[in-house]
Amino acid sequence: MTRTSDIVAKAVNVRLTTLGKTDQELAQFLGVSRRYIVRRNSLETPWSIDELDRVAKFLGMGDGFSLLSFALEIEKAEQKASKSALTAEKAA
């Protein structure tokens, strides 16, 4: 089972990429170092609940709940794709 913090980090990375934004831009917005962001997005250190609202705002998502919802959507889509791949593999 994937940890919630891993799912959130993946969602932040996906959204940054989709928007064409960088770790450095997020770091500047939050007033932290780029290394601080890299540690969180590389799963070295989990994002804190208190940070999620500010991260979500930077990512144009409103609030931390929206970011968590987006993270859950990504996780469900990946689980569905994984199950489909396993089913196709078994059928072959």
Give the total number of structural domains in the chain: 1
Instruction: Check which CATH number belongs to the domain holding 41 and give it.
Output: 1.10.260.40
- Please give the pLDDT value at position 86: 67
* Domain limits for position 87: 4-91
Q: Among residues 24, 19, 51, which one has the least CA distance to residue 37?
A: 24
* Tokens read off for 12: 């932040």
- Please give the pLDDT value at position 36: 97
Which distant-in-sequence residues (6+ apart) come within 8 Å of 84 by Cβ?
none
Evaluate the CA torsion angle 50, 17, 65, 5 in order and state its sign. Answer: negative
| DSSP state at residue 62 | S
Give, in order, the Cα–Cα distances in Å from 48 to each of 4, 6, 37, 45, 51.
11, 12, 12, 9, 5
What pLDDT band is residue 1 in, cutting at 50, 70 and 90? very low
Q: Rounded to two decimals, what is the model's pTM?
A: 0.84
Q: Check whether 21 has a pLDDT greater than 80.
A: yes
Q: Check whether 90 has a pLDDT greater than 50.
A: yes
35-89 tens-digit pLDDT: 999 999 998 999 999 999 999 999 999 999 999 999 999 999 988 888 777 676 6
